[in-house]
């Protein structure tokens, strides 16, 4: 950490995966991360912080209770190391629900839903993704994957930090097919899901809730930024979020599910907040609520942008214009433009990378020769 003009280290006392996820979010990697002990050895110079104890709702690790700058009872052999890399992901309709894939030996592969994969294993997956120990197996809901099948007979007791710490047959040892690939939900009540609908950016849009096999909107009566943070947390973006103007995304249609929602901001899913009965009759769609899960405080949200072909945080840049997604030429495109794109998507920073893995030969090219001053 940088303090008073000098870089210094942090002691591992009380420092856990909750604190690690907050650090990784600050660095722009999303709400993922875990402690890896003292893997990178002892540092030097000042030890800035000790006894950091985060609840998980902080947006900045400096806001977590600690002994104060420079006050510690440890030595450099207790310097903490972190990883912001996640070896699991869910491929589906949101970051909180989808087909389970794991990363091994440089390749993503699937996991079989057989011989012991239970809700306990699902809860371990969800914990490693930042949702806490919630999770449920939802069969093969998101269909067959492709490529490698990495794991079968995964047996977890439900307290492991990562699925790779559970018992299993060994990497690549299996007797199953992709039709057996397992899907997982990290929503506390898997009958209910949330999505943000609007400009094609999964972090901003009109809030819709899935209940009783139907999608519906949410009335803005009583809906605060605390409720927005609960929505964003359940989508995997951490405890960030705010209510924004619905006019940016348009009114919904059909059912209005929620009315008079009252959240403390610490719930794991919006259905855990107090609210009136399901299905609202005294609210109109002009009162639908919209949410932003970015940490930018601008009242005007940007044109839709997305990264395609890699992950939610890396890939080919595409922008939405006239209802159609198109690409952007790399002429004059520098690290400055890359940082702006990533900040639009809610990350702290970003860089331009080689496009060799993300090339396509179809669709419109919307923009060329972008030149930003870095303040947009």
Q: Residue 299 falls within a domain, yes or no?
A: no
37-63 pLDDT tens trace: 787 889 999 999 999 999 877 878 888
Please count the structural domains in the chain.
4
Q: How far apart are CA 96 and CA 144, in angstroms?
A: 18
- Name the CA dihedral angle for 351, 56, 54, 2, rounded to a multiple of 10 degrees: 10
Sign of CA pseudo-dihedral 333, 338, 343, 346: positive
Cα angle 198, 200, 205; round to 5: 30
Q: Residue 106 falls within a domain, yes or no?
A: yes
Burial 302-336 (b: 16+ CB within 10 A, else e): bebbbbeeeebeebbbbbbeeeebebbeeeebeeb
Q: Which of 259, 284, 253, 287 is nearest to 273 (CA)?
A: 259
**What is the model's pTM?**
0.43
State the DSSP string of 107-126.
EEEEEBS-SS--HHHHHHHH
Question: Residue 48 is part of which domain span?
Answer: 2-83
Q: Residue 372 falls within a domain, yes or no?
A: no
* Among candidate residues 83, 104, 127, the one where a domain is terminated: 83
Q: How far apart are CA 305 and CA 315, in angstroms?
A: 11
Q: Residue 70 falls within a domain, yes or no?
A: yes
Considering the domain architecture, whether residues 105 and 178 belong to the same structural domain is answered as yes
238-269 pLDDT tens trace: 778 888 888 777 788 888 888 888 888 877 77
Considering the domain architecture, whether residues 22 and 65 belong to the same structural domain is answered as yes
CB of 309 within 8 A of CB of 315?
yes
261-316 pLDDT tens trace: 888 887 777 877 888 777 766 788 889 999 988 765 443 444 577 777 666 577 88
Considering the domain architecture, whether residues 320 and 273 belong to the same structural domain is answered as no
Q: Residue 362 falls within a domain, yes or no?
A: yes
Considering the domain architecture, whether residues 136 and 212 belong to the same structural domain is answered as no
Q: Residue 376 falls within a domain, yes or no?
A: no
CATH number, position 212: 3.10.250.10
Q: Residue 373 falls within a domain, yes or no?
A: no
Name residues whose C-beta falls within 8 Å of residue 20's C-beta, 6 or more positions apart in sequence: 33, 34, 35, 82, 83, 84
Considering the domain architecture, whether residues 98 and 140 belong to the same structural domain is answered as yes
Q: Residue 374 falls within a domain, yes or no?
A: no
């Amino acid at each position: 950490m940088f303090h008073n003009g000098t870089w210094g280290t942090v002691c591992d006392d009380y420092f856990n995966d909750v604190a690690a996820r907050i650090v990784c979010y600050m660095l722009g990697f999303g709400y993922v991360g875990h402690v890896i002990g003292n893997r990178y050895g002892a540092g030097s110079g000042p030890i800035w912080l000790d006894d950091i104890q985060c609840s998980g709702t902080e947006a900045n690790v400096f806001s977590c209770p600690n002994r104060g700058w420079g006050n510690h009872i440890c030595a450099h052999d207790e310097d903490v190391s972190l990883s912001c890399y996640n070896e699991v992901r869910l491929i589906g309709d949101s970051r909180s629900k989808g087909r389970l894939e794991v990363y091994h030996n440089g390749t993503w592969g699937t996991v079989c839903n057989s011989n012991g994969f239970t809700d306990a294993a699902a809860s371990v997956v969800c914990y490693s993704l930042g949702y806490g120990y919630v999770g449920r197996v939802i069969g093969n809901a998101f269909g067959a994957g492709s490529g490698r099948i990495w794991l079968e007979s995964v047996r977890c007791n439900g307290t492991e930090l990562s699925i790779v710490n559970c018992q299993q047959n060994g990497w690549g040892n299996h007797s199953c097919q992709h039709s057996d690939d397992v899907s997982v939900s990290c929503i506390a009540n898997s009958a209910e899901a949330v999505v943000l609908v609007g400009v094609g950016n999964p972090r901003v849009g009109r809030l819709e809730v899935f209940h009783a096999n139907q999608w519906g909107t949410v009335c803005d009566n009583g809906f605060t930024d605390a409720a927005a943070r609960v929505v964003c947390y359940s989508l995997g973006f951490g405890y960030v979020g705010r209510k924004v103007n619905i006019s940016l995304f348009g009114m919904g249609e059909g059912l209005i599910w929620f009315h008079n929602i009252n959240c403390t901001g610490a719930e794991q899913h919006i259905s855990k907040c107090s609210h009136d009965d399901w299905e609202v009759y005294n609210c109109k769609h002009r009162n639908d609520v919209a949410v932003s899960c970015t940490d930018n405080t601008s009242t005007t949200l940007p044109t839709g942008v997305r990264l395609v072909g890699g992950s939610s945080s890396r890939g080919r840049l595409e922008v939405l214009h006239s209802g159609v997604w198109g690409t952007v030429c790399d002429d004059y495109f520098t690290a400055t433009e890359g940082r702006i794109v990533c900040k639009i998507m809610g990350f702290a920073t970003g860089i331009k990378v080689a496009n060799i893995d993300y090339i396509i030969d179809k669709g419109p090219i919307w923009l060329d020769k972008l030149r930003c001053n870095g303040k947009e």
